[in-house]
Amino acid sequence: MAAQLGVSLHPARSVWIELWNGKHALGWDYHGTPVFRFGWAPAGLATRRQLRAMHMCPGGHEPYAVLAWRKGKRWAWLYRLDLAKPSRRATPAVLNALDKAMRARRTCGQCRREQTYCIPTADGRCNDCIDAANYSYAA
Ligand SMILES: [Zn+2]
């Protein structure tokens, strides 16, 4: 979003904008799209980045408003949280790869048995093998 928002965010030009939920918030009107200043955006709206942090996505909905900061030099779309959807689940291929990776982390480098816990990466051996080795050193 390199383009500068061609809208004056002067306080004198701010207007009360009626929101989708019937509430009102102070912002600016930009060709019919509400513009809110950073920190002044009404509750119930989130940027794509904020949605992602919540494991949500816009769900195919158009942005509702614009969030502007640094006098409109920086801006981002705002989406309605009530229309947002959970992010797409991991595909089977991704899950399979994850499972494989976890299995590798649980497999002992010495006896090759899969354990119920993750093998310490520094050692690479399961507890049984470490214990057995310690025992033989001690004996
Ligand atoms: Zn082992």
Per-residue pLDDT, 48: 92
Query: Taking CA 47 as the corner, what is the angle to CA 25 and CA 69, rounded to the nearest 5 degrees?
Result: 65
Residues with CB in 5 Å of ion ligand 1: 108, 110-111, 126, 129
Query: Tell me, what's the pLDDT at 89?
Result: 62
Q: What is the distance between the alpha carbons of residues 110 and 92, in angstroms, rounded to a whole number?
A: 30
**Spacing, Cα 127 to ligand 1 middle (Å):** 7
Question: Six-digit token pair at 95?
Answer: 């899950």
Name the token pair of 45. Answer: 């709206």
Q: Can you read off the two tokens belonging to residue 124?
A: 């690479």
Specify the pTM. Answer: 0.59
Query: Exposed/middle/buried for 44, CB within 10 Å: 0-12, 13-18, 19+?
Result: middle
DSSP secondary structure letter of residue 116: S
Own/partner pairs, 2-7, CB within 8 angstroms, 24+ separation:
4/72, 4/73, 5/30, 5/35, 5/66, 5/68, 5/72, 5/73, 5/75, 7/35, 7/68, 7/72
**pLDDT tens digit at each of 139 positions of the chain:** 446 677 778 888 899 999 999 999 999 998 889 999 988 889 999 999 998 888 788 888 899 999 998 877 889 999 999 999 877 665 677 777 778 888 888 999 999 999 988 888 889 999 999 999 887 766 5
Distance 101 CA to ligand 1 centre (A): 18
